[in-house]
Structure 1
Amino acid sequence: MAIPVVLITGFLGSGKTTLLNHLLWDPEMGDTAVIINEFGDVAIDHLLVESAIENAVVLQSGCICCTVRGDLVDTLDDLCAKVARGELPPFSRIAIETTGLADPASLVRTFLTERLLADRFTLRAVVTTVDAVNGAVQLDEFEEARHQAALADVIVLTKSDLASPEAVASLTARLKEANPSAAIVPVVHGAIAPDTLFALVPAHPSRADDEVLAWLNSEAFEETDGHAHSHHDSSIKPFAVTLDRPVTREALRSWLRSILSLRGADLLRMKGIVALKGEAAPIVVHAVQNALYPPVQLAAWPSDDHTTRIVFITRDIAPEALRNSLEVLASRSAA
């Protein structure tokens, strides 16, 4: 069974380290491998190291902690090899902390396109920390901060006790406009239980998954209808499109290839449930930029609504362009 991976990202000073420190202390993280950029960023000394072996340490809580040594693929392969040799305890989950300037899309692509990773690991969620005090300015000035928020499954609003209630409410509304489907949770001193954090995002649907509607959360996108109220984020648009006609597999495959090839860099995220012509059950599609998750055929529709619903978060792509391309897709299928 593939090991779930959680990416923890967030802009410089947004509280990733504080969040990670809090998680590492929790016994619920005992079967977790944590990959960080530098030990200096996380105060390992006071987390009570129990044992150490070549670039990895086992903390008193049971967590395995290591640094990225060169390539992420090599680091993960090294961890798995040490477990196989009995040098480290087994783990059932991985948390990866990125640098403050990292675009999480590149790591998402790594897990989808690197065969060595795709066979053994599954990307469970992107968790982004946003500083309640400085977050609005960072979103204004840095594209990386906007991308981190747009790609998040969960946004952890840190330092919420240091900002005014009005500032927290304004920033929360702005984040919701940029990424309607993300769960937004305020924390103080990074204090959130691992089970609480990881329960905030439904897993990517499996064949028999009845949580697909929660995962898709298309209603949240329909409320925005592509109209971001903040002029600062005008290039990033969330919106939903629907089709009341089924499409053929061939037409869907051609459409996905086309948009990922032509506009993949600006397709920050796409999730959808698609009605297939001549088939009783739908297919689930999911992409981050030009990396496509393996499509999943569901065993049955999750509700009585058999409409195709696809949600997008895009950069400088007009909603009408994708809506029109879907109409062409449906027309080809009808023909």
Structure 2
Amino acid sequence: MTIPRDPLPVVLITGFLGSGKTTLLNHLLRDPGMADTAVIVNEFGDIAIDHLLVESAIENTVVLQSGCICCTVRGDLVDTLDDLCTKVAQGEVPAFSRIVIETTGLADPAALVRAFLTERTLVARFALRAVVTTVDAVNGAGQLDGFAEARHQAALADILVLTKSDLAPPEAVATLTARLKAINPGAGLVPVVQGAIAPDDLFARVPENPSRTGSDVLAWLNGDAFAGRPGDPRSPHDDGIRAFAVTLDRPVEREALRGWLRSILSLRGDDLLRMKGIVALRGEASPMVVHAVQAVLHPPVRLANWPSEDHTTRIVFITRNMEPEALRNSLEVLATRTAA
């Protein structure tokens, strides 16, 4: 199987049952901008791809009139991706430059996120670009109340797509919007009607993961969205999910940082839904970018330069049943030990 020179970007579309994933996906697939996209769904029958879009079928894979490739998950995700790429290499289906994966309504996306960070065969060929979560403005509040999966889908999102906002009372939309921002302040939130959003508009809302140059790191971190938040959940139903930022005005030793990250991930990894940060290192002119999803740490990225004049360590957290003060104190201890 041919390995691409650069990892192919992957967009994960998730959302609770009836939240509008199908409508959003069908709208995206009609756009010419999706012509070089591979779409992986769980079952064609479940996702209800519009039959008028189907041009031909090849063993669990269909080529749509728009030029998109669409296939079902067979066995597991690794097998499906391997099968799809093999068909491209053999000329059975067109080449693609982006992958969109649709999950089931009851899926916790953390498992798929972990797969793209830990499965060697996936890490070498694919890069998770964004998690897009659809939330139903009519029923979303009740789903967030009743189902942990819905809360985790919202907490892990890079983009929250608010659907059916034209069918819900304005006050209900405003309350749900405030709750989503409390769960995940750093995510972009965009209302849509009948799934109507252009692919370029949707995908452009997610900054690239920071490279060595760090040109996108501030947009990716979006620390201002967390500023001044007390870390208290907006709703008593939200499983103790808290979103907050921790800052530190003193640099830390690189090895001390690694030890702190290992400790947090090993002790509380399941409750660390997401962490992003830019960290000042003692004796080094440029910072380190850290990013973790639950117990999985992305390889830290050392930037060539600070992205702004502010050289403060800033780490944003979305956690479950973790006290903000405990994390702040642990960082203070880390800095104190570094200074000593």
TM-score category (smaller protein) = over 0.9
- Matched with 1:221 is 226
Equivalent position SS for 1:138? helix
Are the equivalent residues in 1 in contact too, given 2:138–2:164 (CA < 8 A)?
Answer: yes
Q: Which runs of 5+ in 2 are unaligned?
A: 1-5
- Matched with 2:87 is 82
Instruction: Give the whole-Å Cα distance in 2 for the aligned partners of 1:4 and 1:333.
Output: 38
- Matched with 2:158 is 153
Deviation, 1:283, is 0.8
Deviation, 1:267, is 0.2
Instruction: Give the whole-Å Cα distance in 2 for the aligned partners of 1:47 and 1:201.
Output: 31
TM-score by length of 1: 0.98
Equivalent position SS for 1:276? coil
Instruction: Give the whole-Å Cα distance in 2 for the aligned partners of 1:47 and 1:121.
Output: 30
1:238 and 2:243 matched: yes
Q: For 2:280, which of 261, 275, 284 is the aligned residue?
A: 275
- Matched with 1:252 is 257
- Matched with 1:44 is 49
User: Which amino acid is the alignment partner of residue 283 of structure 2?
Assistant: G
Are the equivalent residues in 1 in contact too, given 2:183–2:234 (CA < 8 A)?
Answer: no
Deviation, 1:249, is 1.2
Instruction: Give the whole-Å Cα distance in 1 for the aligned partners of 2:230 and 2:93.
Output: 49
Deviation, 1:234, is 5.9
Are the equivalent residues in 1 in contact too, given 2:54–2:63 (CA < 8 A)?
Answer: yes
Instruction: Give the whole-Å Cα distance in 2 for the aligned partners of 1:187 and 1:226.
Output: 28
Deviation, 1:233, is 2.3
Alignment RMSD: 1.0
Deviation, 1:49, is 1.9
Give % identity. Answer: 79
Are the equivalent residues in 1 in contact too, given 2:233–2:240 (CA < 8 A)?
Answer: no
TM-score by length of 2: 0.96
Equivalent position SS for 1:231? coil
1:11 and 2:16 matched: yes
User: Which amino acid is the alignment partner of residue 27 of structure 1?
Assistant: P
- Matched with 2:313 is 308
Are the equivalent residues in 2 in contact too, given 1:21–1:42 (CA < 8 A)?
Answer: no
Q: How does 1:1-335 map to 2 (within 5 A)?
A: 1-233=6-238, 235-335=240-340
User: Which amino acid is the alignment partner of residue 212 of structure 2?
Assistant: R
- Matched with 2:3 is none
Are the equivalent residues in 2 in contact too, given 1:275–1:306 (CA < 8 A)?
Answer: yes
Instruction: Give the whole-Å Cα distance in 2 for the aligned partners of 1:44 and 1:330.
Output: 54
Equivalent position SS for 1:58? strand
User: Which amino acid is the alignment partner of residue 34 of structure 1?
Assistant: V
Q: Deviations over 1:154-197 (max 9, x none)?
A: 00001111101111111001100110001111111111100000
Number of aligned positions between the proteins: 335
User: Which amino acid is the alignment partner of residue 256 of structure 1?
Assistant: L
Deviation, 1:294, is 1.2
Equivalent position SS for 1:322? helix
Q: Deviations over 1:277-316 (max 9, x none)?
A: 1111111100000011111111110000000000000000
Which one is further off, 74-83 or 259-268?
74-83
User: Which amino acid is the alignment partner of residue 320 of structure 1?
Assistant: E
Deviation, 1:117, is 0.2
Q: Pick closer, same or farther for the CA change 1:330–1:224 going to 2, 3 Å.
A: same
Instruction: Give the whole-Å Cα distance in 2 for the aligned partners of 1:47 and 1:208.
Output: 45
Equivalent position SS for 1:87? coil
Instruction: Give the whole-Å Cα distance in 1 for the aligned partners of 2:52 and 2:335.
Output: 56
Q: Which runs of 5+ in 1 are unaligned?
A: none
Instruction: Give the whole-Å Cα distance in 2 for the aligned partners of 1:180 and 1:154.
Output: 11
Which one is further off, 34-43 or 297-306?
34-43
Instruction: Give the whole-Å Cα distance in 1 for the aligned partners of 2:46 and 2:169.
Output: 28
User: Which amino acid is the alignment partner of residue 82 of structure 2?
Assistant: D
Which one is further off, 321-330 or 306-315?
321-330
| Runs of 4+ off more than 4 Å | none
